[in-house]
Chain A
C-alpha cells in the first residue's frame, strides 16, 4: 500500500525540541521530493519545509528558518523534521506529504500521511 506514516509528536515545553519522523512505503521513496505541512487546531494549512530527492535542495519559509531542519534517509525510506526552540504557536498537526513527480504536478502534494500532533505548552 502506498502510504506515509508520521510519528514523534507529543507534548513539549516552550523552548524545547522535538524530532518528527515519516516512514514511506509502497513507492520509490528516493525518487520524490518530500514536504512537511502543518495545521494549527481549527486553522488552515501552512507549508513548513521541503527536501529534494537527494537532499541537495532544502526549502522553507523565512519565518521558520533557523528553528526547523528537514532531512531524509533514503536507505530507511524516512523523512525527518527537527524542531528546536519550540513556541506555543508551533502547536499543530504536522503532515508529511509527497510532491508530485511530473512537471505539471511538481510542488503539489499528491500523497499525505495522517499527521502527528505537536503540542507546545508549559
Chain B
C-alpha cells in the first residue's frame, strides 16, 4: 500500500518560515494527485488550508502557501504565528475515488 510521508515534526521561531513536505513511498507527487493540506488542532475538526496543489481555502491567511517542490508537495508557512502551532496533514488523490492522508507533521512555534 502507498504510504504518504511527511516529516514527523518541525520547530519554527515566531516570525520565521517553515516548509513542510509530502512525498510518496514510491514515485513523485505531481498536480495529478491534487494535493491538499489540513491543519488539525486537537479537539477540533481539521481545517482545509490548501486544495488542488496551491489554492488557498476561503479565510486562510496568505502566510500559508503551497506548491510542488521537486518530487513532493510542499506547504510553506511564512511569518509563523503562535496559533500556527498544530498538526498538519497532506492528502493525495490516488485515483478511483481514493484518498490517502499523509503521516502528519507536528509544528511547534517557539
State yes or no: do A and B come from one complex. no
Query: Which residues of A come within 8 Å of B, CB atoms?
Result: none
Q: Which residues of B contact A (CB under 8 A)?
A: none
